[in-house]
Structure 1
Amino acid sequence: MNFAAIGVPGLLIILVIILMLFGPRKLPEIGGAVGKTLSEFKKSAKDVMDDEETDTKKASEAEKRVD
Protein backbone atom coordinates (compact mmCIF):
# COMPACT_ATOMS: atom_id res chain seq x y z
CA MET A 1 0.00 0.00 0.00
CA ASN A 2 1.43 3.33 -1.06
CA PHE A 3 0.62 6.07 1.45
CA ALA A 4 1.78 8.76 -0.97
CA ALA A 5 -1.25 7.93 -3.13
CA ILE A 6 -3.71 9.06 -0.43
CA GLY A 7 -3.82 12.66 -1.65
CA VAL A 8 -5.38 15.75 -0.13
CA PRO A 9 -9.01 14.53 -0.11
CA GLY A 10 -7.99 11.35 1.69
CA LEU A 11 -6.04 13.32 4.29
CA LEU A 12 -9.01 15.60 4.90
CA ILE A 13 -11.27 12.60 5.44
CA ILE A 14 -8.76 11.09 7.89
CA LEU A 15 -8.52 14.40 9.79
CA VAL A 16 -12.32 14.67 10.04
CA ILE A 17 -12.55 11.10 11.37
CA ILE A 18 -9.82 11.80 13.95
CA LEU A 19 -11.62 14.98 14.98
CA MET A 20 -14.88 13.05 15.45
CA LEU A 21 -13.15 10.29 17.44
CA PHE A 22 -11.12 12.42 19.82
CA GLY A 23 -12.85 15.80 19.79
CA PRO A 24 -11.25 19.21 19.48
CA ARG A 25 -10.06 19.31 23.11
CA LYS A 26 -7.88 16.20 22.83
CA LEU A 27 -6.22 17.10 19.51
CA PRO A 28 -3.56 19.43 20.99
CA GLU A 29 -2.58 16.73 23.51
CA ILE A 30 -2.36 14.09 20.79
CA GLY A 31 -0.39 16.43 18.53
CA GLY A 32 2.06 17.22 21.34
CA ALA A 33 2.54 13.54 22.13
CA VAL A 34 3.15 12.72 18.47
CA GLY A 35 5.61 15.60 18.16
CA LYS A 36 7.57 14.49 21.23
CA THR A 37 7.65 10.92 19.98
CA LEU A 38 8.92 11.97 16.57
CA SER A 39 11.63 14.20 18.04
CA GLU A 40 12.80 11.38 20.34
CA PHE A 41 12.84 8.98 17.40
CA LYS A 42 14.87 11.41 15.29
CA LYS A 43 17.33 11.93 18.14
CA SER A 44 17.73 8.19 18.65
CA ALA A 45 18.19 7.58 14.94
CA LYS A 46 20.83 10.33 14.79
CA ASP A 47 22.65 8.83 17.78
CA VAL A 48 22.67 5.40 16.12
CA MET A 49 23.98 6.86 12.86
CA ASP A 50 26.69 8.79 14.72
CA ASP A 51 27.73 5.68 16.64
CA GLU A 52 27.88 3.66 13.43
CA GLU A 53 29.95 6.36 11.74
CA THR A 54 32.36 6.44 14.70
CA ASP A 55 32.72 2.65 14.60
CA THR A 56 33.41 2.75 10.87
CA LYS A 57 36.10 5.40 11.33
CA LYS A 58 37.75 3.40 14.12
CA ALA A 59 37.75 0.26 11.98
CA SER A 60 39.31 2.05 9.01
CA GLU A 61 41.98 3.60 11.26
CA ALA A 62 42.78 0.18 12.70
CA GLU A 63 43.15 -1.24 9.18
CA LYS A 64 45.55 1.56 8.26
CA ARG A 65 47.70 0.80 11.31
CA VAL A 66 47.90 -2.89 10.35
CA ASP A 67 49.10 -2.03 6.84
Structure 2
Amino acid sequence: MHKMWCGAVASAEPVWHVLATDESVTLCGLEKREECEEQVQTDKLCYRCMTTLQTEMAPEA
Protein backbone atom coordinates (compact mmCIF):
# COMPACT_ATOMS: atom_id res chain seq x y z
CA MET A 1 0.00 0.00 0.00
CA HIS A 2 1.27 3.47 -0.83
CA LYS A 3 0.80 6.57 1.32
CA MET A 4 -0.04 10.02 0.04
CA TRP A 5 1.74 13.24 0.99
CA CYS A 6 0.70 16.77 0.16
CA GLY A 7 3.62 18.86 -1.05
CA ALA A 8 4.19 21.78 -3.37
CA VAL A 9 5.40 21.66 -6.95
CA ALA A 10 7.31 24.38 -8.78
CA SER A 11 4.18 26.53 -8.87
CA ALA A 12 4.04 26.32 -5.04
CA GLU A 13 0.49 24.98 -5.17
CA PRO A 14 -0.23 22.03 -2.87
CA VAL A 15 -0.49 18.76 -4.78
CA TRP A 16 -1.00 15.21 -3.53
CA HIS A 17 2.00 12.96 -4.24
CA VAL A 18 2.45 9.21 -3.78
CA LEU A 19 5.27 8.25 -1.43
CA ALA A 20 7.81 5.63 -2.41
CA THR A 21 8.19 2.55 -0.22
CA ASP A 22 10.79 4.13 2.09
CA GLU A 23 8.58 7.26 2.45
CA SER A 24 11.51 9.70 2.09
CA VAL A 25 10.77 10.60 -1.54
CA THR A 26 7.77 10.60 -3.81
CA LEU A 27 7.34 8.46 -6.89
CA CYS A 28 8.10 11.53 -9.03
CA GLY A 29 11.41 12.07 -7.18
CA LEU A 30 10.43 14.96 -4.91
CA GLU A 31 12.11 14.81 -1.49
CA LYS A 32 9.52 14.60 1.26
CA ARG A 33 9.69 17.40 3.78
CA GLU A 34 7.84 17.89 7.04
CA GLU A 35 4.16 17.16 7.21
CA CYS A 36 1.86 20.14 6.80
CA GLU A 37 0.68 21.43 10.15
CA GLU A 38 -2.59 22.68 8.69
CA GLN A 39 -5.14 20.72 6.73
CA VAL A 40 -4.58 21.18 3.03
CA GLN A 41 -7.70 21.48 0.93
CA THR A 42 -6.86 20.31 -2.57
CA ASP A 43 -7.91 17.56 -4.91
CA LYS A 44 -4.95 18.03 -7.27
CA LEU A 45 -2.77 14.98 -7.87
CA CYS A 46 0.78 14.79 -9.18
CA TYR A 47 0.53 13.41 -12.71
CA ARG A 48 4.04 11.91 -12.61
CA CYS A 49 3.36 10.10 -9.32
CA MET A 50 0.05 8.75 -10.56
CA THR A 51 1.56 7.55 -13.85
CA THR A 52 4.37 5.76 -11.99
CA LEU A 53 1.89 4.20 -9.56
CA GLN A 54 -0.29 3.00 -12.43
CA THR A 55 2.75 1.37 -14.06
CA GLU A 56 3.74 -0.31 -10.77
CA MET A 57 0.23 -1.62 -10.19
CA ALA A 58 -0.28 -2.97 -13.72
CA PRO A 59 -0.24 -6.74 -14.00
CA GLU A 60 2.87 -8.17 -15.58
CA ALA A 61 2.36 -9.44 -19.11
Fold match (TM-score > 0.5) = no
More strand by share: 2
TM-score bucket (shorter structure): under 0.3
TM-score by length of 2: 0.26
TM-score by length of 1: 0.24
Structure exhibiting the larger radius of gyration computed from Cα positions: 1
